[in-house]
Structure formats: structure tokens, C-alpha cells
Structure 1
Amino acid sequence: MALGVSLLAGTTALVAPSVASAEMVFNRGNGSEPGTLDPQISEGVPSAHILRDLFEGLTAEHTDGSIIPGQAESWTISEDGKTFVFKIRENAKWSNGDPVTAHDFVYAWQRAVAPATGTAYSFLLYPLENAQAISSGEEKDLSKLGVKATDDRTLEVKLSGPAPYFLGMITHSVAYPVHKATVEAHGANWTRPDNMVSNGAFKLQEWTPQSRIVAVKSDTYWNKDTVKLDKVVYYPTESQTTALKRYRAGELDWTYEVPNDQIKWIKENLPDEFHVSNYLGTYYYGFNMTKPPFNDPKLRKAFSLAIDREILTSKIVGAGEVPAYAFVVPGVTAYDPVYADFKAKDQAARNAEALKLYEEAGYSKDNPIEIELRYNTSDNHKKIAIAVQNMWKKTLGAKVNLVNEEWKVYLETRKLKEATQAFRAGWIGDYNDPNTFLELWLSDSGLNDTGFDSPEFDSLMNQAKLEQDADKRKKLLMQAETIFLEANAVAPIYHYVTKRMVKPYVKGWENNVMDHIRSQYITIEQ
């Protein structure tokens, strides 16, 4: 860095400017306040972004989203695709200096499937032998899980069937190792900054709820020499309008999203700082199938038909989102799209069918249903909810009361299936395979907040899990999605794009379909 020139009392002195010793800090807008930073328990994208910085699994991702070695320096795969042997790096360390061992992964994965842990994402580990039986309580012996340490640096994983997505799946936080002594010493408080021991590129320094979370570069991370940032500050901001104001004021280098009603202005005034890319995700409304009124399949379909997806994507969200008539995002690897049976109809025909089904369910414009539509606090979610509220009123005559809740409360409400009727949700693929979208709807999935329960669907999914022929596996998954779409447990609305503001001086990142942007690759060039 160049020296500065200072003129003092007629003399010229060379002095180093203060910026020379300044920390390289990345100020990152991060959406909602995380409910937890426990890798096995966390839910939602905001916590996932932070956990990817604090922890690292056996595999990791490059800037383009491709799978690369993480805590494992190498691995071998058996000919039948069912046995993986990972070799842990000799220089893999925890933030307290302890070595990361194969035993740490065994402990974390057993913890993830143990019913007592309460992990919503345990189903991600179902490819492992006995994982589903342990998670359901059918098998009590955790040692029967298909993972074992044959020595400190060797981890053997046995799957019940070939899983072509496995190396990508274990980049998810549920598969991160955790430091056993720390978890057992501090219990639920082990994720506090003064307690947490992690193994990623950064370590937790501060967590001030609803204000900021701070992570600093870890000096024990095996690849620390490639990490240029000194600090990452994550700002939880549920209001996209507020986040944009903070960005324009220079308080944020990067936003989680942008307000939909400001996109036109942004394109006209800050086009070089506005980044939009494809995203492997589906925005949808779910229906609680476990109790009236949406235990009625005719009513669920009526409400789905009455949503004008083209209007929503062109007038309300407007950043290139694609209307959704499938749950699995079209274009996913090794899959042919499956669509709802009304995709080819125009909206007038859909509305006519919706009204007919609504009346068959016992309601009419003279005898309207009254329901709640629940969403988590967000400017964008509110605008979509208001638009859909008006569509349901205009087409069906339904009375729709909007209810918004803070993220953590909203997740818990959905999970209980007591107060929810219709609710907003979104699902972002954890890896590029149709299974990541469909396994969500297994009857015993911890994230199946609709209560969808189909033995035929479960059977097809289990057959696909064991099927070694790629074409037969694809057809099984397509049959499963057809069953799910016909049930109308959810109304897919659109397939996501990422849309955010990024300062020109933020370097080292690139768009990828997973939107997994790890801070370890980022530099701030000012």
C-alpha cells in the first residue's frame, strides 16, 4: 500500500495512512435473526450462511459451487457406490487447537439422527445404513448408524443404497462435525461466543441478538493462508427496505435481498451493483392437511388454482422469477420436469375450476370461508401475501386474514401444525438432485409442515434410494412428485432467483445456483 504525504508546518513527511493497518471487514446483510448456530439443529438460509463460515464438513465447495475436499483430504468410493472411506487432514484443527478426528464426525452424525436431539434435518442422513430406523426410534442403538472411525483419521461410511448426491449433501450443516467435549460441557449454551469451538475458516466472536453477529478469522483453520478477511459482520435485517437504506449509506457491503418494489429504481440507478442469478429453490404456500379446512383436497386445489402466478412474477416480485407449477425446480440434474395438471390452462380456466371446487367443498361467495394466511416478517413476503389475499377474495370470495410472525416463532408455529392453515414457505435445494426437494415430504420428515402422508410416496422414495439404475431412479422420483402434486399439499408459486446489492469493491465471489457464498473466498479491495 502506498504511503501518504502529510504537510506539517511547511515540511513534508511520509506517513503510513491509517487504512494501512485497518482490518479487512466484510459487512454482510443476512436476512432474519438465526434461531440457533448449532449445526445439527439450525434451520433456514440465514443461519446456513453463517455456519458455512464457522464450520466445515468432510467436503466443501469452491466459489462456483463445485464440490472440493474440506476436512477430508481425499476419499474412495466402492464399486457399488455404497461405501465411502474418507481420510481426515492431518492439519485439521478445532479453534481451540484440538485435532479434528473421524470420531468427531461419528459423534455429530449420531447426534443428528438421535430423536432426543430434535433435528429437523435428520432425513438428510437417511442414505446411511439404519439412519431412518434410528431417527424414528425403531432402532435404539446409535452405533448401528452406518458411520465409524477405523482410526483417528479414517472415517468409513456405509449407505443403504447408492446416493449420487452424497458428496454434495454432506456440505450441509447437519453433517458438520461438532466438538464433543464442548457440547457436553455447556449443553444448549455451547454455541455462545465464549463457549463455541468450531473448525471453519472463522470463529464466533460476538452475537448481539437482532443487531449483529461477528466472526473473526481462525488461526487454526487448515487453509487459513488463503483467507484474506479479518472479520465478517452479519446483520440480521428482516426489512429489505431498511437493508437497502443501510447499503446506500455504506453500512452494508452486501444485501441478503432487495425490496421488490425498488427493483425498477435499482436497475435504473445502480445497475452495476445489482446481481441476479438462478437459484435452486421454490417459493410456495403450504396447507395444513391435518385439520379443517385444508384437510379437504378440493379446497386445497381451489386455493392453488386461484393464485395467478404470472401476475405475481411479473408485477410483484419482478426480478426474473419463473412461475412454478412443479416443486422440483426444472433443470435439476438428471431429471425431467413434472408439472401440476393445470399448467397448460389459462388463468380464466383455472379460476373457473377453482370456484367449482370451492363450491363442491361447501363454500360460495355468499357463504365464504374465513382463513389465516401466515408468513414470516418481511416486506417482500407481505406484498405477495396481500396480492394472493386479493386473488382469493376476487376469485372465491374467501375472507383471508394475514398473520405475520418473527422467523423463530413462525418456524415453531408451522412445525406444531396447530394454528397454521395456509402458510408461506420456501425450499432451497441442499444439493443439485431432485431428491433434495422430494425427501422433504416423507411422512417422517422433520420439515414436513403440511402433514402430507402418503405410503405410496414413501415407498417410491425408498425404492429410489436403493435403485442403482439412473433412469429407473429418475422415473421413481417422477412418480413420487406426481403423487405429491396431485395432493395439492402445497401451491408452488415461483422458482427463485437470488437478487442482491454488492459493492464494487467486494471481490472473490461468483454466482452459483446454490447461492453458497463462503466468506473465506471474499476480499475487500478499497
Structure 2
Amino acid sequence: MRLIMNISFKKSLVALATIASLSVTLSPVVKAADVPSGVQLAKEQVLKEGTRDYPVTADPAKATDAASNAVLLDVYNQLVNYDDKGNIIPGDAKSWDVSPDGKTVTFHLRPGLKWSDGSPLTAHDYEFAFKRWVDPKTGSDYAYYLSLSNVVNSKEVMDGKVSPDKLGVKALDDTTLQIKLDKATPYFVNTLGIGFASPISEKNYKKWGEDYFKPEHMVSNGAFKIDQWVINEKVVSVRNKNYWNNKKTVLDKVVYRGVPDYATQVNFYKSGELDTTYTVPIEQYSKIKKEMPNQLHTNDILKVFYYDFNTQKAPFDNVKVRKALSYTINREALANSVIGMGSKPLYSLLPSNTAGHNQFKPAWSKEDPKALAQKAVKLLNEAGYNKEHPLEFSVLVANTPEFKKAAQAIQSMWQSTLPVKVKLNVVEYKTWLAEKFQPTHQVVADDWYGDYNDPTTFFGLFTSTSTQNGSHFQSKEYDTLIDKAATASSDAERRKYFTEIDKLIDKKMFIAPQYSSSLPYLVKPYVKGWANQNPLAYFYAKNVYITKHS
């Protein structure tokens, strides 16, 4: 049976779960810069892109920040990509087959793929990159993704029990990559469009080692290649003439400017130093919407804000403390009044536009706020805290407008309702990124972008093998539910398990979900092909062109 590749994820999930075998062939349309007839292009095809912060690394296995991933999505190509709506489309793989039992996925690479230096790119480079990705020596925070996707021996490799050579990823020849799974995993292919799943030139890496990721040694397979990397300032990429679809690329250069202060980004945008912004400041949103309505775009993205409670450290090893704090966060006020910009209150870790789940809302969320506050006070009293002996703790907060504004509002909610004293430990974004998973912190203000459109990209954060588990929560019951959901044979069965996971999170309250957010950002009128409705907030410079302007 043939399926066209730009089907929605929900439909693909049901199809994968119900048919015996699957052969996916190339979609007739591969996303690239599509310039309408008669459009006059600017002489200089340069995009000046504002990123969330300064890009940190060019190593796909170690890029956990949004800024680095913005660069890597342009300089690397993956087996699959995402279209403007977040659906899977072919990347380096022109097609792939799934075995009747769903446990073997075979990718067929496009013929003649090349690295930016002109050398052949083969399936062996993908095999090498995947094995390096999961190797404990690499230290990738995202290695657990392969375990979550049930790739054969991935967990054993991560735990150091077997060699990376035993990973279930093998190049059968130069254009055929086979990946074996322990269990049928319907969403597996959808995880492979992330930057971590990029290939690495085995030949060049073995020659240069970790210096491979320096601009002077690194080779790329994406539409662009890195030309300059100025630490704490900018990254410059230029067109890769050896990219397989270079004839459809229009831009010649992309300049990524790391500007952590979003107000400064807007100023740079207004002065012409930036063509796009990563986002806009909360406090300027209404004004910008009024002044530049045609330049302000908004994506309803897969992003959730929540607090991690360190369940391994007193007093947050006590579920009564965790529940008392979660009960007294007014999520409606937080999302609608404090943050705004299209945010939505959440009682689950899953944004409402996450595919394949039933939105969860616990019974306590419908209780009268005053009665709920009294219940929370009682829980703290039972845990040994009162006005004479208040609960004192600190919250690690990133120094960004949204994090700070939300944290200050929640601090006020808690201190006006409960016998608590809350200190906000506000640190630079890079410091927050480096420290937030350390077991020394009591509470961490956290967020998460979905890497693919499925509940497992969020729920997988809190498995026992996850290195992204800021709550340090460990539960065999949780792991088992994740495993059952990952291998369920129908959409209805998966939804049932995801609801059980929601209920378990609410019961244990190791995190306090708060709200999902949208992403408002500015784009110059002459920049075409940038704005989209991708819920993953993935933007590809290869789709962009600059029209003639003054």
C-alpha cells in the first residue's frame, strides 16, 4: 500500500498501526523556496535571523538549545523534514519501508548525496552518527530518544553494557539504512526530523575528532554550510552548492544573531539589523500588534511551561507539599492575564494541539478557588508547615521576560495564599540551561518544545532513562505506561495509556504544568517563505527568498 508523505501525523499513526506492511514513496512536492512567476528578487539574498540566544554548538548530538538548533536545521539535512504544518516530508531519504511486524524500518537515500566538500554522503555516515549519538562517551542529553523509540540495544549502549556497534542501526549499502526496533513504534519516523538525527561525515570526524565541529573542518549536508562562528555574537552560513536540492535554494547567506534580550531584538529589527525576530517581548506585544499587524506572525506551538519539583530532595520529596503548591497556581490568570499572547492554561504536560491524545483536566481544577486554597493550606499543615514555621524554598528561573513574569506572578500567588517564603533565583539563560537538571535545586521553572508531534516527546522527559528529567522522579509504573503507549496497536489504545499517564502525573505531582504558549515573531515584508504554521516552530532558510525592496 502506498501513502503520500504529506499526510497528517494522526492519520499516519492509525495507518501504521493497522496495516501489515508499508512502503512510503517520495511526495510529488518537496518543500523548497518557491518563487512565484513575475516576482522580482533582491540582488542581495541574505537573511538576518534573530535567535533566542547565542548558538552554543554545531554538534547535533549536543545541541539542546533553540539557537543552536536554528543553525543546525539549515546546515544539516536529516532523513526526513517537516513541512509548514509539521507533517513529515522526505529529506535525505527519498522513501522508506516498514516491515510487516513494524520492527524494521529501511530508508532509501537519494542517489548522489554529497557533503559540502564534494565527498559522497552515504548511509554509513548516518550509521556512524547514530552510534556516536547514543555512545555514553559523547554525553548527549538526547540519547534517550533512541531508547524511547525502542531502537534495538539503545538503552544497553547508553548504560555502557554493550558497545555502540551493537546499536540496531546498520548501513546495508551506500544508499540503504536499516533501523531495527525492539517493538513496533508507530511514531518512530516522525522523530527523525530533529537536529540530533543528522548525519556526520565518518571520514572527517575520524580525522579531526571533536575539532570536526569547528567551521574550518566541519562539512555539511544541508542547504547551507557554516562560514563563521563568532562566540557570543553571530554565526554566518553560506549556500552549500553541493546540497542535493541546491537548484531550489535562493538565499546565498544567513546571519544568525544571538540577542537574548527580546526588546533589543525588536530594536535591531526596526533598524534593519534583523529581518526576523525569535519572538517579541511580552510587554511590547500589544503595541507591536497595533503598529505592525502585517509583520507580526504567531504560531500555535508545541511548547509548555511547568515547574519541576525535586522529588529526591526535602521538602519536595513530600507529595503533600507538591500538591499544595500546584493547587494554588491560578493557571487561567497566568495564561490569560499575566502572559497573554495566545497562551492557554494547562493541567497536563500536553499542549492542546498535541496529536493523538485526549486533553486532561483533573477534578480539583474545577473546585472553588477558595476551597482549593484551604485544601492546600491543610496539606502544608499536615506536612509540618504553618505561619510560625513557613515553608521556605527557592526557584531557579531563567532571565527571560516570560520566565520572570510568570515566576513573579506564581510567587505572589503562593505567598498570598500559603505559609511559604519563596526566593526567585534568577540566572542568565545559559546558566539556567546548564544547571536546571542538577539535583541541588529545589524547584526549577522549566519549559519544553516538542521535538515531534506526539505525546511521547513530552511524557518521555520523565522516564527513568531520561537525562532531561528535572524532577528526578523515578517510577517503574510510569516507565511501563510509556512503554505500553509507545507500542499500542491502535490510536484509541494509545490515548487510553496517555490519559493514565496524565492521571499518574496528577497523583504524584512531580511537576506543575502551567500553560502552553504561542510564538509571536516579526518578519520583514520582503522576507518570503519564512512565516508558517509549523507547531514545532521549525523554520528552514532553504524555503526563504528576499524580494526587491528599498
TM class, shorter-length = over 0.9
1:6 alignment partner in structure 2: none
Give the C-alpha shift of residue 21 in structure 1.
8.4
Measure, in 1, the Cα distance between the counterparts of 2:276 and 2:41. Answer: 23
User: Is 1:135–2:186 an aligned residue pair?
Assistant: no
Q: Given residue 322 of structure 1, which amino acid in structure 2 is its aligned partner?
A: K
User: Is 1:41–2:25 an aligned residue pair?
Assistant: no
2:86 alignment partner in structure 1: 65
Q: 1:365 to 1:459 in 2, by over 3 A?
A: same
Q: Given residue 159 of structure 2, which amino acid in structure 1 is its aligned partner?
A: S
User: Is 1:443–2:460 an aligned residue pair?
Assistant: no
Most deviating of 464-473 and 158-167: 464-473
Give the C-alpha shift of residue 341 in structure 1.
4.0
Pick the aligned partner of 1:433 from 454, 476, 479: 454
Pick the aligned partner of 2:95 from 65, 70, 74: 74
2:232 alignment partner in structure 1: 210
Deviations 1:450-486, CA, capped at 9 Å, x for gaps: 1011111111222233332332233223212321232
> Contact 2:385 / 2:419 at 8 angstroms: preserved in 1?
no
2:173 alignment partner in structure 1: 151
Measure, in 1, the Cα distance between the counterparts of 2:328 and 2:319. Answer: 14
Deviations 1:23-56, CA, capped at 9 Å, x for gaps: 3111111112233221011102222221110111
Query: What pairs with 1:36-115 in structure 2 (closer than 5 Å)?
Result: 36-115=57-136
Give the C-alpha shift of residue 277 in structure 1.
2.5
Q: How many pairs were matched up?
A: 506
> Aligned with 1:115: secondary structure?
coil
2:518 alignment partner in structure 1: 497
Give the C-alpha shift of residue 183 in structure 1.
2.6
Give the C-alpha shift of residue 148 in structure 1.
0.7
> Contact 2:41 / 2:546 at 8 angstroms: preserved in 1?
no
1:470 alignment partner in structure 2: 491
Measure, in 1, the Cα distance between the counterparts of 2:542 and 2:95. Answer: 21
Q: Given residue 487 of structure 2, which amino acid in structure 1 is its aligned partner?
A: L
Aligned-pair identity in percent equals: 36
2:300 alignment partner in structure 1: 278
> Contact 2:123 / 2:174 at 8 angstroms: preserved in 1?
yes
Deviations 1:499-518, CA, capped at 9 Å, x for gaps: 11111111113222111111
Give the C-alpha shift of residue 338 in structure 1.
2.5
1:266 alignment partner in structure 2: 288
> Contact 2:41 / 2:545 at 8 angstroms: preserved in 1?
no
> Contact 2:393 / 2:442 at 8 angstroms: preserved in 1?
yes
Deviations 1:175-215, CA, capped at 9 Å, x for gaps: 11111233333333322211211211111111112211111
Deviations 1:271-298, CA, capped at 9 Å, x for gaps: 1111122111211111111211211111
TM-score, normalization by structure 2: 0.88
> Aligned with 2:62: secondary structure?
coil
Measure, in 2, the Cα distance between the counterparts of 1:236 and 1:478. Answer: 39
Which structure 1 segments of 5+ residues have no match? 1-18
Give the C-alpha shift of residue 365 in structure 1.
2.6
Measure, in 1, the Cα distance between the counterparts of 2:522 and 2:410. Answer: 27
> Contact 1:331 / 1:337 at 8 angstroms: preserved in 2?
no
Give the C-alpha shift of residue 404 in structure 1.
2.2
Deviations 1:390-412, CA, capped at 9 Å, x for gaps: 11211114222222223332222
Measure, in 2, the Cα distance between the counterparts of 1:428 and 1:123. Answer: 16
Give the C-alpha shift of residue 448 in structure 1.
0.8
> Contact 1:450 / 1:489 at 8 angstroms: preserved in 2?
yes
Deviations 1:124-179, CA, capped at 9 Å, x for gaps: 112211212221223x1323211111111111111122222222200112211111
Measure, in 1, the Cα distance between the counterparts of 2:41 and 2:337. Answer: 47
Query: What pairs with 1:472-491 in structure 2 (closer than 5 Å)?
Result: 472-491=493-512
